Amino acid sequence: MDYEPPSATPELSELACRLVEAARDQGLPLRAGAGVAIRLHCEGALQRYPVLKRPVHDVDLIGRSRNLKDVTKFMESQGFVKVPTSLNAAFSLREIYVNPKTRTEVDIFLDKLQMNHTIELKDRLELDYPTLTVSDLLLSKLQIVKINLKDVTDLVMLLADHPLGDTDRNEVNLPYVAKILSNDWGFHYTVGNNIRVVGDQLARLDGLDTSMIEELAKKCKRIVDAAEAHPKSIGWRVRAKMGTSKRWYREVEREGDSVTMPAGP
């Protein structure tokens, strides 16, 4: 059955769904990520808490590098033109396309999301449709070092609309998240800081009722506890000894004011 985007989603969400479906018809696995995907996954939270609504300005898709030539041909067939990318974007396996008529931008990440931290996605595209899994969407926001209010809002939406569990079926897969963080001390450190930021911001988001704030706080604690309890790799333990005396993340440029980050552990 063809995927029907929720009627409440904006044009970009519908565009993302159309591109993913058209690519599937040509045998190309693409999945939506970032803000568009979070809106698609969180219609319930958006209806219950209008304060969480925010504008989405572009479409992020994730594919595989081995399909790059076919992806380029596909995007051209959909009316998009490839934009010359910087060395930074090329290193990050990121392609940028623009529709000359609408000026809509579509970013396509290949194999992985490589920003402040790296999330390997090549083997996880078929786990959900038409988006990445809830867990990968959550990690894509938690990996941001200079987190801003837009990111906090997205994280709150994801946690408000999805339970914590141990599968990739429309829930946050705690064992998967904990495993990722237990192999990368820097990622683990950033996520810990960002979970605290989310907790600090909950009471400041007008429109969230007390019971939801309490539920979200409990979910945040469970994510931290799961990451702490998971056995750590040798690399994680070695890197932990250096702490923040050495930069623990990759520097990237992004727009938006960051939320003040509390001191780490």
Taken in order 185, 190, 193, 195, the sign of the CA dihedral is: negative
Token pair listed for 54? 């925010």
Provide the 8-state DSSP code for 50: G
Cα–Cα nearest to 139, from 173, 107, 91, 106:
173
pLDDT of residue 207: 81
| Cis before 130 (ω within 30) | yes
Residue with tokens 């219609």: 43
- The count of C-alpha atoms lying within 13 angstroms of the C-alpha of 107, restricted to the half-sphere facing its C-beta, is 17
- Two structure tokens written together for 114: 């490589």
Q: What is the pLDDT at residue 123?
A: 97
What φ, ψ does residue 138 adopt, rounded to 5°?
Answer: -60, -50
**pLDDT the model gives residue 189:** 98
Given the DSSP bridges, would you call strands 112-114 and 118-120 parallel, antiparallel or unpaired? antiparallel
Sequence-ordered list of residues with C-beta below 8 angstroms from that of 128, at least 6 positions apart, any chain: 31, 134, 168, 170
pLDDT at residue 263 in the model: 39
Phi, psi of 124 (to 5 degrees): -120, 5
Residue 254: per-residue pLDDT: 56
Q: What is the pLDDT of residues 7-51, one digit of tens each?
A: 333 589 999 999 999 999 999 999 999 999 999 999 888 888 777
The two tokens of residue 253 are 């440029």
Half-sphere exposure (Cβ direction) of 84: Cα atoms closer than 13 Å: 0
Cα–Cα distance, 5 to 19 (Å, whole number): 12
Taking the domains of the chain in order of start, what are their residue ranges?
11-245
Fold of 11-245: Beta Polymerase; domain 2 (3.30.460)
Measure the CA angle with vertex 156, ends 155 and 159; round to 5°. Answer: 85
End-to-end CA distance of the chain: 48
Q: What percent of the chain has pLDDT over 70?
A: 89
> Which pLDDT value is given to residue 1?
38
Tokens of 53: 């609504």
Q: Which two tokens stand for residue 16?
A: 């993302």
Mean pLDDT in each 10-residue stretch from start to end of the chain (265 residues)? 40 93 96 94 83 83 96 96 71 85 93 96 97 97 94 94 95 97 98 95 86 94 96 97 96 58 40
